[in-house]
Amino acid sequence: MNREELNKNRKLERSEYLNFFTRKRFFFLKRLYSNWLIFKKNKMGLLGVVLLILFGLMALASFLPPLINPMYQPMIGVDPMILGTEGPSSTHWLGTDFMGRDIFSQLLMGARIAFMIGISAALMTVAIGTTFGLLAGYFGKTVDFLLMRFADIILVLPDLLVIIILSAVIGKLSIWNIVVVIALLGWAGTARVIRSQVLTLKERPYVDAAKLAGSHPFGVIHRHIVPNIIPLSLLYMTFRVTSAILVEAALSFLGFGDTSTVSWGMMLQWCWKTGNMFRAPYWLLPPGISISLITLSFYLIGRAMDEIVNPRLRER
Amino acid sequence: MQKYILRRTVEIIVTLFIIITLLFVLFRLAPGDPTSMIIDPKMTPEDIESLREAFGLNDPLWLQYLKYLKNILKGEFGNSFHYAEPVLDIIKEKLLNTILLFTTATILAALAGISLGKFIAWKRGTKIEATITFVGLLLHTIFLPWFALLAIWIFGFKFRWFPINGMLTPEIWLDPTISFFYKILDVIHHMILPLFVLFTIDFSRSMLVMKSSMLDTLREDYIITAKAKGLKEKIIRNKHAARNAMLPVVTSVSLSIAFSINGSAITETVFSWPGLGRELVFAVSNNDYPLAQASFLLISTLVLVANLVADVLYAYLDPRIKY
């Protein structure tokens, strides 16, 4: 073999190497696209996405009103012309609350808070749940027994009431404390599902092969098990987002929330506690509808994703 | 079966023990000690010291813990700060009210959800199915406190069909001339709205679970066999499919009992229903530690027992399950 030929071979090899990588990336995109095709067929899932985009726009728009006029600041902006609650007008699209604050800008701010709470709590919950599920499923025996008994206890605790008790002991909880506690109380369901998935995954031939080749247990988990449970974790994340938003809203509604933030639950509590719920539908309706619809949106997306993860559901 | 019930009971006792211990740790970690609620700035250090002695706060921690366990076993939760009465007497009657509201709602919702879920799964692919499923989804995701407020607003305030708070009308119950039957009717009249709210949320969940489980069952071979035998549709639906499809509903009920109890605390507060959940919310808002602790413990026990009942029911319904 002469030198020229060798060089040519090398080039070919390199290009094939590159080709391999791009092909792999392409494959990933293709898979994403085919999943989207399945998702698209689910009309309810699409409705969920549309709702979610709307709420996302609301959250983004929440930065605008205070820039237009300082009286639109959701917590401290007070319209000097208005003393109490008043119905919708051209300056206040959804009216004002008991202190003369603009309800529309509070509603927008609520969307931002809901996303912050929902997504951060869900990320934490699923991270804890996935880790515990992996450990319990993969290592089995004592680890499994201890973690699952722990999960059983967490599972039967009524989370809202536990947070209320915590706020009795610690005092008023800040919004981030609430998020952390929601995460600590919500991982059990995810951990159980992940564990049962890991139990079947670890019996696969490629896991045996990796073990025989001398991989470290964490190496096996990292390379062969985690990639297979990521879709399931993501699915559970969408469900956890809704429950985090709901728990925070209920907590604020009952008067144990963080009074320095305007969440939708807090708006409802103000309306209810100041005795305006029979008089001010413009105040009572928007936050309730928003909480219900954002829950619906994540729930519908979760159901549509469920059909991708569990192909069995599609055949019906 | 008996063995299984025994095992689950032991598990429940262990869980309760852990919850009790956690409560002890939690309330000891609280900033300030339990006396800080009562201590007056005018008290001398000697007074405070004798108070601490009376509360047993000078004992070593393990002795305090043992005393605490002993008191709970005897049902002594101390005196409520707010009512200045033994906590046990206060929460005993509230417990019954919560059980009345909560079990009625759960049972009715499960029954109704199973029947409607069965029906719409049978009508799969039709307009009726799509409509009912969509309404079910809306009801499933509606925000409970807001739904309760709406119910009060519409049925209690606009139409004035139902009383908007409390459990009974004192004038009726204090009048000796009115017969007991009407007094019971009065309680039912008060109960309808909170029951309706709890029922709707629970019902939509069990309906959705039943529908999806029924759709799975309908694809089984024995359903095809039953059809091939020429059995009546109603018999296939009710006897062959629904019986098997019911099992996941029972599981979902048992998994969501904690969730329902959360819900009943909210509903009780909004409707001023004198139950445990409302008492807990009230106690925490008033820094009434003994009352809060005891009502939380009782609610946890309630959840655990309800879970046990659901599990036993499941074992009873599915003879394939062996314990």
> Is B259 touching A (CB cutoff 8 A)?
yes
Residues B62-81: pLDDT tens digits?
888 888 888 888 877 777 77
Task: State the best of A173, A185, A254 to mutate against chain B, taking most chain B CBs within 10 Å.
Answer: A254
Give yes or no for residue B270 having a pLDDT over 70.
Answer: yes
Give the pLDDT band (50/70/90) at residue A16. Answer: low
Give yes or no for residue A14 having a pLDDT over 70.
Answer: no
CA dihedral B214→B215→B219→B222, nearest 10 degrees, is 10
| Contact in structure between B120 and B133 (CB atoms under 8 Å) | yes
Give yes or no for residue A51 having a pLDDT over 90.
Answer: yes
| Contact in structure between B141 and A292 (CB atoms under 8 Å) | yes
Distance CA A268, CA A277 (A): 9
CA of A24, closest CA in chain B: separation in Å? Answer: 36
Q: Which has more pLDDT, B45 or A103? A: A103
pLDDT value, residue A289: 93
Give yes or no for residue A13 having a pLDDT over 70.
Answer: no
**Binary contact (A158, B307; C-beta < 8 A):** no
Give the pLDDT band (50/70/90) at residue A153. Answer: confident
Q: Count the alpha carbons within 13 Å of A314 in the hemisphere toward its beta carbon.
A: 15
Question: Which whole number is the average pLDDT over B252-271?
Answer: 83
**Binary contact (B15, A169; C-beta < 8 A):** no
pLDDT value, residue A181: 92
Tokens of B147: 């739904």
- Select the highest-mean-pLDDT range: A18-32, A43-57, B61-75: A43-57
Q: Which has more pLDDT, B306 or B255? A: B306
Average pLDDT, chain B: 82
Q: Which has more pLDDT, A170 or A118? A: A118
Residues B291-308: pLDDT tens digits?
888 888 888 888 888 888
Average pLDDT, chain A: 84
| Contact in structure between A306 and A46 (CB atoms under 8 Å) | no
Please enumerate in sequence order all residues whose Cβ is within 8 A of that of A274, keeping only pairs 6 or more positions apart, or say none: A85, A97, A98
pLDDT value, residue B322: 57
A-B interface: how many C-beta pairs under 8 angstroms? 130
| Contact in structure between A286 and A107 (CB atoms under 8 Å) | yes
Share of chain A above pLDDT 70, in %: 91
CA dihedral B271→B276→B277→B281, nearest 10 degrees, is 100
**Binary contact (A170, B30; C-beta < 8 A):** yes
Question: Which whole number is the average pLDDT over A194-199?
Answer: 88
Distance CA B114, CA B136 (A): 13
Indicate the pTM of the whole model.
Answer: 0.84
Task: Cite the DSSP H helix spans in B142-242.
Answer: 144-151, 170-174, 180-217, 221-228, 233-235
Please enumerate in sequence order all residues whose Cβ is within 8 A of that of A201, keeping only pairs 6 or more positions apart, or say none: A137, A207, A224, A225, A228, A229
pLDDT value, residue B226: 87
Query: Which of A155, A255, A288 lies closest to B146 in CB terms?
Result: A288
CA nearest to A242 within chain B:
B141
Give the pLDDT band (50/70/90) at residue A30. Answer: confident
CA of B301, closest CA in chain A: separation in Å? Answer: 10
Lowest mean pLDDT among A16-20, A64-68, B125-129, B303-307: A16-20
Residues A94-131: pLDDT tens digits?
878 877 788 888 899 999 999 999 999 999 999 999 99
Assign domain A16-78+95-313 to a CATH class: mainly alpha
| Contact in structure between A192 and B308 (CB atoms under 8 Å) | no
**Binary contact (B141, A278; C-beta < 8 A):** no
Task: State the best of A42, A161, A242 to mutate against chain B, taking most chain B CBs within 10 Å.
Answer: A161
Tokens of B242: 């629904």
Question: Which whole number is the average pLDDT over B196-212?
Answer: 90
First to last CA, chain A: 61
Give the pLDDT band (50/70/90) at residue B31. Answer: low
Give the pLDDT band (50/70/90) at residue A184. Answer: very high
Give yes or no for residue B323 having a pLDDT over 60.
Answer: no
Q: Which residues of A204-214 are buried (b: 16+ CB within 10 A; e: fewer)?
A: eeebeebeeee
pLDDT value, residue A311: 72
CA of A88, closest CA in chain B: separation in Å? Answer: 20
CA of B109, closest CA in chain A: separation in Å? Answer: 20
**Tell me, what amino acid is at B264?**
S
Task: Cite the DSSP H helix spans in chain A.
Answer: 3-41, 43-61, 64-68, 103-139, 141-156, 159-170, 175-201, 205-212, 217-220, 226-254, 264-273, 281-309
Q: Which residues of B291-300 are buried (b: 16+ CB within 10 A; e: fewer)?
A: bbbbbbbbbb
Q: A96 in helix, strand or coil?
A: strand
pLDDT value, residue A298: 92
Q: Which residues of B241-265 are buried (b: 16+ CB within 10 A; e: fewer)?
A: bbebbbbbbbebbbebbbbbbbbbb
- Nearest alpha carbon to residue A286 among A91, A56, A58: A58
Q: Which has more pLDDT, A34 or B117? A: B117
| Contact in structure between B252 and B264 (CB atoms under 8 Å) | no
Domain extents in chain A = 16-78+95-313
Distance CA A301, CA B112 (A): 27
Give the pLDDT band (50/70/90) at residue A2. Answer: low
Give the pLDDT band (50/70/90) at residue B222. Answer: confident
Please enumerate in sequence order all residues whose Cβ is within 8 A of that of A226, keeping only pairs 6 or more positions apart, or say none: A134
Tokens of A209: 């092969």
| Contact in structure between A279 and A122 (CB atoms under 8 Å) | no
Q: Kindly write down the DSSP assignment for every residue of B63-118, as one continuous string.
A: HHHHHHHHHHHTT---B-TTT-SBHHHHHHHHHHHHHHHHHHHHHHHHHHHHHHHH
- Nearest alpha carbon to residue B185 among B156, B155, B163, B153: B163
Give yes or no for residue A71 having a pLDDT over 60.
Answer: yes
Give yes or no for residue A10 having a pLDDT over 60.
Answer: yes
Eight-class DSSP state of B236: I
Distance CA A111, CA A108 (A): 5
**Binary contact (B18, A153; C-beta < 8 A):** yes
Quickly count: other Cβ atoms within 10 Å of residue B315's Cβ.
Answer: 17
- Select the highest-mean-pLDDT range: A83-87, B56-60, B124-128: B124-128
Quickly count: other Cβ atoms within 10 Å of residue B91's Cβ.
Answer: 23
pLDDT value, residue A217: 83
Question: Which whole number is the average pLDDT over A252-281?
Answer: 87
Cα B280 to chain center, whole Å? 13
Q: Which has more pLDDT, B141 or B167? A: B141
Residues A225-244: pLDDT tens digits?
888 888 888 888 888 898 89
Q: B211 in helix, strand or coil?
A: helix
Give me the residue label for tokens 């309680």: B187
pLDDT value, residue B33: 55
